[in-house]
Amino acid sequence: MNVREKLHVLADAAKYDASCASSGAKRRGGGNGWGGMGNSDGTGICHSYTPDGRCVSLLKILLTNHCLYDCQYCINRISSDVPRARFTVDEVVRLTLGFYQRNYIEGLFLSSGIIQSIDYTMEQLVDVARQLRITHGFNGYIHLKTIPGASPALIAQAGRFADRLSANIELPTRADLTRLAPQKLPGDIAGSMGQVHHHIQDDRDKFQFDETTSLEKSIEVRHDAHNLPVMNPGERYAPAGQSTQMIVGATPTADGTILRTAAALYKTYGLKRVYFSAFSPIPTADSRLPAQQPPLVREHRLYQADWLMRYYGFSAGELTESDQASLPLDMDPKTAWALRNRGYFPVDLNQASRIRLLRIPGIGVRNVDRILSIRRHHKLVLQDLIRLRVALGRARPFIVVKDYHPNAQLLDHPALEDRLAGGRLGKSAQLNLFEATTSAVTGEV
């Protein structure tokens, strides 16, 4: 194959990995004492949208889709009858530089099937990043997938050249992995994550890194046991952290267990993100795999629940009724929690703590902060919430403000759940549900 044909095969093979969006890495061309090309500015990567509306992207490819493993959920498994291709290290470097110079991309996401051995594959990935950084002075974004079980020396090198590292946990439980991917050992995955976490923490302990100050030290190229150059110790290790990905729906594992696994990963390894990827049926699949893809809304609900754990103070155990329960598909997980905990409401927006405000459906983190700011100057009224664009359709049954005191029976109304679950009732029933609030707004209740 020529490079164009390889690119077609290996870019398509990489599309199933969702854990490539990132933020947090800042590199400036010329600011590190050795010049170079481009920079990485900390905004989202891989078809993500920055706060100013700008879309940024990266070259997302596999080094090869040849693989020694036979993971049943993977299109690139050894028993799969798919076209195979393999880039050389130099080809990936040239593609990345060429696309970057043409302003097609802002960085590289590089993964690979396992070829020859774990360490051989990992060394090839590290060599791509090393050549980009050292030989060509590339300061753009680089995300490398670590190969679970790779030697600690290679893991240590990878984070000196890459902005972000990730090792995919693949499936939510040890039993799932043993059943469908017995060659992937949970201990190897945990070991790689642990090593990356250790290096990141070690960097934080050793260096008080100021991202607004340039590093004026010149590179002194040293070599480790693998004869790989070691970058200046002032360069941060994986400054954008590490992430992982779980496939959802390939096994019967419920959302409660999935969320608990994600919570444990955040706590143990300090991950930046856990990505959820809905299982996609593949040709000639194993009979143990489902014949159909799970509803994509399930993936969406897991991301919403993940957000609640990371930014809203919810625990995994609060978001589903048990380990064996799944998130409702017809409403967001915060609303579902509120309906299961109606005694927590209504919450007075003029008196409640930030923690309580974050639990109200329809009110996000930024609006909670705005509410706290506004109420220092005057009591909030319903019009303030309208100006803040609070989702009153969801929030109204759960709040109290100066000019709005909902009827005490509203939270117990039998139609409330149907109303919040997307309006399965007719419009007249929905209007009847909220008739009681009309007099409440005028102060009659």
How does pLDDT run across 300-337, given as a tens digit for each residue?
A: 999 999 999 999 999 999 999 888 899 999 999 999 99
Q: Which residues contact 378 (CB under 8 A, 6 or more apart)?
A: none
Cα-to-chain-centroid distance, residue 395: 27
Angle at 123 between CA 105 and CA 78, to 5 degrees: 85
State the pLDDT at residue 442.
31
The pLDDT of residue 8 is above 80: yes
262-285 pLDDT, tens digit each: 999 999 999 999 999 999 887 777
The pLDDT value recorded for residue 430 is 40
User: Residue 429 pLDDT more than 50?
Assistant: no
Contacts by residues 266-269 (CB-CB < 8 Å, ≥ 24 positions apart)? 266/309, 266/310, 268/193, 268/194, 268/197, 269/193, 269/194, 269/196, 269/197, 269/242
> Does 2 score more than 50 pLDDT?
yes
How do strand 48-49 and strand 55-56 relate by DSSP bridges? antiparallel
Residue 14's pLDDT is 85
The pair of structure tokens assigned to 155 is 């893991």
Q: What's the pLDDT band for 32 if we cut at 50, 70, 90? A: very low
pLDDT digits (tens, 9 = 90+) for 93-138: 999 999 899 888 888 999 999 999 999 999 999 999 999 999 999 9
Residue 25 has pLDDT above 80, yes or no: no
Report the pLDDT value the prediction gives residue 419, as an integer from 0 to 100: 85
- Give the C-alpha separation, 19 to 46, whole Å: 10
- pLDDT tier at 21 (50, 70, 90 boundaries)? low
Task: Decide if pLDDT at 24 tops 80.
Answer: no
pLDDT category of residue 436 using cuts at 50, 70 and 90: very low
Could you tell me if 171 and 280 are in contact, meaning their C-beta atoms sit under 8 angstroms apart?
no
pLDDT confidence bin for 184, thresholds 50/70/90: very high
**How far apart are alpha carbons 305 and 357 in whole angstroms?**
17
With a cut of 50, say whether residue 67 has pLDDT above it: yes
Q: What is the mean pLDDT of the chain?
A: 83
Q: What is residue 441's three-state secondary structure? A: helix
Instruction: State residue 16's pLDDT score.
Output: 79
Closest C-alpha among 93, 73, 226 to residue 158: 226
What is the pLDDT averaged over residues 383-405? 93
Which of 13-17, 69-73, 233-237, 289-293 is predicted with the least confidence, judged by mean pLDDT? 233-237
Among residues of the chain, what percentage have pLDDT more than 90?
Answer: 61
Residue-level length of the chain: 445
Least confident piece of the model among 192-206, 233-247, 292-306, 380-394: 233-247
Confidence of residue 155 (pLDDT cuts 50, 70, 90): very high
Q: Give the pLDDT mean for 61-76.
A: 93
3-state SS class at 95: helix
Domains and CATH numbers, the chain: 3-207+221-284 (3.20.20.70), 332-441 (no CATH)
Residue 39 binned pLDDT confidence (cut-offs 50, 70, 90): low
The whole-number average pLDDT for the span 411-426 is 73
Residue, of 281 and 39, whose pLDDT is higher: 281
